[in-house]
Amino acid sequence: MKTDFDKEELKAIEEIGDAHIGDTARTPMRPDAFALSDIEKIALIREDVEHIMHTLGLDLTDDSLRGTPNRVAKMFVNEIFGGLHPDRKPKASTFKNNYKYGEMLVEKNITVYSTCEHHLLPIVGRAHVAYISNGTVVGLSKMNRIVDYYAKRPQVQERLTMQIVKELQEALGTEDVACVIDAKHLCVNSRGIRDIESSTVTSEYGGKFKEEAVRREFLDYINLDTEF
C-alpha cells in the first residue's frame, strides 16, 4: 500500500475528500474484503488504534485509556461498520398485497446513524422512504433495517440514498420507490467550517416518483405533523 504522497497528490486527495463525490451506488470494496474473520480484523484494528493513540502521545497504561483500542476495534467491526458484511444484510420479507392497497406507503423519520468515509466522523439524521406497491408489500420494520444496514458502513450520503432505493426496488419488484435523507455531517459541524446549523438533504426518485405530482405528494407526507 502506498503511504508516501507528494504535495500535489495530497492536495488532490484533500479536494476530493471535501467534495463528497460518489461516482457509483456500490460501496468500494476489495475482492479480499472478507478473507479475514471478524476476530482477526478486531485484533489488527486494535493494534492500529494503539499505534494511533501512542503516536498522539497518549498514555495507554492509564486506566481510562487501556481498553480503548479494543473497544474501538470491536465497535468498527461489529457496530458502526457492520453493514459492510453481506451476511448481516436483512432479509426483506415480502408479501402479496392481498388488501389491494394501491396508494403510496411512506415510512418517515427513520433514524440514520452513519459515518462519513472522508473523515470517519458521524452522519446523523432522518430518512424518509416510500413505495407504491405493484402487488407486493414489505414489512415496515424491514424498511428501517435496510436503512440501518446501508448506513452502517463508511458512506457518502448520496450513495446511501441510492442504495436504499435500489435495495427496495429489487425486493419489491418495482421502480416506484423514493428516499429522502436529511442529515448533519460532523465533518462539517465539528471541524473545518464548524457550521453546527447546516444539514445535507439528498433524494432518489424511481418510477412514478419522477412525476411531479407523485413526488409532491411524498414530500407533503414527510412534512405532516405526526407528533403523538
Residue positions annotated with a catalytic role: 116-119, 157, 185, 187
Q: 189 vs 18, 121, 198, CA distance in Å? A: 13, 10, 7
Residue 227 carries which side chain, given as an amino acid letter? E
Residue that the C-alpha cell 424498511 belongs to: 143
Q: Identity (one letter) of the amino acid at 2?
A: K
What is the distance between the alpha carbons of residues 204 and 162, in angstroms, rounded to a whole number? 6
Do 134 and 176 form a contact (C-beta atoms < 8 A)? yes
User: What grid cell was written down for 1?
Assistant: 500500500
CA distance 107 to 130: 6
